[in-house]
Amino acid sequence: MSQQPFSRPGAIDLSALKRPAPSAPPAGGAPGAPGAGGGPAAAGAGGAAVGGSAYAVQVTEQTFQDVVESSMTAPVLLCFYSRTRMPESGRLADDLATLADEFEGRFLAGLVDIDAAPGIAQAMQIPSIPLVVAVIDGRPAPLMQDALPLEELRAALTQVVQQLTAQGMTGRHQPRHGGPVATEDGEPPVDPRYAPAQDAMEAGDFDRAVAEYQALVTANPADAEAAAGLAMAKVLQRVQGVDAGAARAAAASSPDDVAAQTLVADLDLFDGQVEDAFARLVELVRRTSGDERNAAREHLLGLFAAVGNDDARVLKGRQALASALF
């Protein structure tokens, strides 16, 4: 993947999009776009869903800001292309839309036709096409500048998602259409892949739950549901049978003991004291260094994953962690 410097570090500047957009054909009607010539695409927040993809949207100058803001939940990959100027860039956009479904919402593919939405390219100072920009928490970074073949693109995105999962970032986007049908009680049906792990959790067999979730994550590192389940199962596994009073007393007497503090953080999370668990480990990171600091940080990332990356407390915790580290 190309890692050339991006011309606009930091948050995306939307000021250029406040001007009236130049006259252009509708972005959703680009010739040859996925689903072109078929029925109308299903609408979703931040743009129209592309063809049959549940996790790809055609971005317009009017929906660009909403798409960027959705990166606070999970990454958005903006693909800048032009089917008329460079057909291979259009193929890259199609492939990205296909893979967005395969990764089940770990990222949203935002397709930007620079002929139909020139203001977006101008605002982001796009140097050339094709270009894929990753947007995380509203901040852009270049990801690739080549129209990779589908298999290479899949491998590259798998690496990206694995890195995000390792950092505890397991949030995912909701499908723009074609979501699961609810059961009679209003709850979505249970995915059979997760049934053995969920059965183990309900039975209190956390060792088996960890093994079941780990097998799912090993088979598909991009599976956000399995990664979150694994993180929570590990918390429950660690606190099982622990004398909470003794653990808290040990932590109080040894404030810099990583094992003692992380165990109490697990107990806090188990008791529903999520912010207390995060604050305890953030302060531990602040006070320690070297391997001890890294162990505290890794444990905290695991707790973030257990709670869920789209939780407001996790976002606040990540900000506190960044402050403690830097």
| pTM of the complete model beyond 0.75 | no
For residue 215, the model assigns a pLDDT of 93
Domain presence at residue 179 = no
In a domain, 61, yes or no: yes
State whether 161 and 196 are in the same domain: no
- Measured CA distances, 101 to 30, 51, 96, 98, 109 (Å): 21, 12, 9, 6, 9
Q: How confident is the model at residue 137 (pLDDT cuts 50, 70, 90)?
A: confident
Asked whether residue 263 falls in the same domain as residue 221, the answer is no
Q: Which two tokens stand for residue 247?
A: 């653990």
CATH at 318: 1.25.40.10
**Within-domain flag for 24:** yes
Within a domain: residue 1? no
Assign residue 106 the CATH number of its domain: 3.40.30.10
* Same-domain pairing of 53 and 113: yes
pLDDT digits (tens, 9 = 90+) for 263-275: 999 999 988 889 9
Rounded-to-integer distance, Cα 145 and Cα 258, Å? 43
Q: Is residue 312 part of a domain?
A: yes
Question: How many domains does one find in the chain?
Answer: 3
What pLDDT, in 10s, does the model give residues 48-105? Answer: 556 568 899 999 999 999 899 889 888 999 999 999 999 999 999 999 999 998 888 8
Domain hosting 235: range is 192-240
pLDDT at 7: 33
The pLDDT, as a whole number, for residue 23 is 33
Same domain, 132 and 269: no
Q: And the tokens for 61?
A: 């100058």
Residue 49 forms part of a structural domain: yes
Q: Is residue 26 part of a domain?
A: yes
Q: What is the mean pLDDT of the chain?
A: 80
List pLDDT tens digits, range 223-270: 878 888 899 999 999 999 999 999 999 999 999 999 999 999 999 998
If asked whether residues 26 and 157 sit together in one domain, one would say: yes
Regarding whether 145 and 30 lie in a shared domain, the answer is: yes
Q: What pLDDT score was predicted for residue 29?
A: 30
Q: What is the pLDDT of residues 172-216, one digit of tens each?
A: 888 876 444 444 444 445 567 888 988 888 888 999 999 999 999
* Region for 261 from its dihedrals, namely left if φ exceeds 0, alpha if ψ lies in -120 to 50, beta otherwise: alpha
Q: How does 232-243 read in b/e, with b if 16+ C-beta sit within 10 Å? A: bbbbbebbeeee
Please indicate, yes or no, whether residues 49 and 133 belong to a single structural domain of this protein: yes
Instruction: Out of 21-25, 208-212, 322-326, pick the least confident.
Output: 21-25
Q: Is residue 175 part of a domain?
A: no
State the Cα–Cα distance between residues 2 and 144, nearest whole angstrom: 5
Looking at the fold, whether 204 and 220 belong to one and the same domain comes out as yes
Specify whether 39 is located in the same domain as 159: yes
| Confidence (pLDDT) at 118 | 92
Q: Are residues 159 and 255 in the same domain?
A: no
Asked which of 240, 266, 298 is the last residue of a domain, the reply is: 240
Q: Are residues 198 and 123 in the same domain?
A: no
70 shares its domain with 44: yes
Q: What pLDDT does residue 47 have? A: 55
